[in-house]
């Protein structure tokens, strides 16, 4: 049984790194934004990838924030079993880091400390003029384009299309992956750049893929589990 093997490996390991994508949060009822506003239910004039781009933000912040508040912010979402199990593994000293493509902050809400957020976080927001920091509450409490007390626009610390990832976050993530004895990848099809390339830095022979459907990386994995990630990791609790 593949799930039994995973349990055995985790038991033996002291250096697990987890790499996760949108699928980790869908069980917390946060949909993948790429799946929203489909062909038959168009509420916006542009595809999400356009609205969530840097140039669109600069050109039309009002429409950006309408989409962002409706489709990207889930302040009431709670961590699911996957988040909770990963936090527990860290507390036990087994898991060294969570590398995530998600921006929802649910790993921290579950108690994880070392979380590397490749795409930033909705919980951090900065004034574009004076750099003042704001939490999520400020973005939620204002209507339209949120502004700073100085008059500047408050921009979420979320990596938009056309923007580069933080090089320090990438470097730290790759260091953890290179040292890991188990790399667990979950809730991502690994088709989105730069996730696919991250796997190349793993040098071990216990690469675990947990995803509901098959991914292009399956043939490289040492263990593939095609089940919901909350269910699989929840068994460790």
Return the number of the residue (155 or 206) whose C-beta is nearest Zn ion. 155
Stretch that binds Zn ion, among 55-63, 130-138, 160-168, 224-232 (CB under 5 A): 130-138
Stretch binding Zn ion (CB under 5 A), from 10-18, 19-27, 122-130, 137-145? 122-130
Find the part of the chain contacting Zn ion (CB under 5 A) among 46-54, 63-71, 110-118, 148-156: 148-156
Distances (CA, A) of 80 to 39, 62, 112: 30, 32, 13
Q: Which of 115, 117, 118, 153 is nearest to 134 (CA)?
A: 153
Cβ(126)–Cβ(133) under 8 Å?
Answer: yes
Is position 140 an interface residue for Zn ion (rule: CB under 5 A)? no
| Under rule CB under 5 A, residue 142 binds Zn ion | no
Residue among 108, 93, 97, 81 at smallest CA distance from 24? 81
The reply on whether position 127 binds Zn ion by CB under 5 A is: yes
* Min separation Cβ 126 and Zn ion, Å: 8
- Residues binding Zn ion: what is the number (CB under 5 A)? 7
Q: Is 17 in the site for Zn ion (CB under 5 A)?
A: no
Query: Interface with Zn ion includes 212 (CB under 5 A)?
Result: no
Is residue 10 involved in binding Zn ion (CB under 5 A)? Answer: no
Q: Which of 132, 172, 212, 220 binds Zn ion (CB under 5 A)?
A: 132
For residue 133, state whether it binds Zn ion (rule: CB under 5 A): no
Q: Can residue 152 be called a binding residue for Zn ion (CB under 5 A)?
A: yes
34 is a contact residue toward Zn ion (CB under 5 A): no
Q: Sign (positive/negative) of CA torsion 221, 179, 109, 70?
A: negative
Task: Give the separation between CA 217 and CA 25, rounded to whole angstroms.
Answer: 21
Q: Binding of Zn ion at residue 129 (CB under 5 A)? A: yes
123 tagged catalytic: no
**Rounded CA separation 98/90 (Å):** 9
The span from the first CA to the last CA of the chain, in angstroms, equals 18
Q: Least distance in Å: CB of 145 to Zn ion? A: 13
φ, ψ of residue 162 to 5 degrees: the values are 80, -5
**Residue 200, C-beta contacts closer than 8 angstroms, at least 6 positions apart:** none
* Burial label, 155 (beta-carbon count in 10 A; 0-12, 13-18, 19+): buried
By the rule CB under 5 A, 130 interacts with Zn ion: yes
Q: Which stretches of the chain bind Zn ion, using CB under 5 A?
A: 127, 129-130, 132, 148, 150, 152
Active site residues: 119
């Amino acid at each position: 049984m593949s799930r039994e093997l995973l349990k055995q490996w985790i038991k033996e390991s002291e250096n697990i790194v987890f790499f996760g994508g949108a699928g980790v949060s869908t069980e917390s009822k946060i949909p993948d934004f790429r799946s929203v506003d489909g062909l038959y239910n168009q509420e916006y004039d542009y595809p999400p990838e356009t609205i969530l781009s840097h140039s669109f933000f600069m050109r039309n912040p009002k429409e950006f924030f309408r989409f962002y508040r409706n489709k990207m912010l889930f302040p009431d979402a709670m961590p699911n079993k996957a988040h909770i199990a990963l936090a527990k593994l860290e507390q036990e000293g087994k898991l060294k880091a969570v590398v995530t493509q998600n921006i929802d902050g649910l790993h921290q809400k579950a108690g994880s400390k070392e979380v590397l957020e490749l795409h930033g976080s909705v919980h951090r927001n900065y004034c574009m003029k004076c750099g003042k920091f704001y939490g999520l509450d400020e973005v939620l409490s204002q209507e339209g384009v949120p502004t700073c007390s100085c008059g500047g626009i408050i921009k979420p610390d979320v990596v938009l299309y056309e923007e580069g990832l933080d090089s320090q976050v990438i470097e730290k993530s790759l260091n953890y992956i290179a040292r890991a004895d188990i790399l667990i990848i979950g809730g991502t099809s690994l088709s989105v750049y730069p996730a696919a390339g991250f796997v190349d830095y793993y040098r071990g022979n216990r690469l675990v893929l947990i995803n509901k459907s098959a991914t292009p990386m399956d043939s490289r994995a040492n263990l593939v589990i095609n089940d919901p990630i909350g269910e699989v990791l929840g068994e460790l609790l």
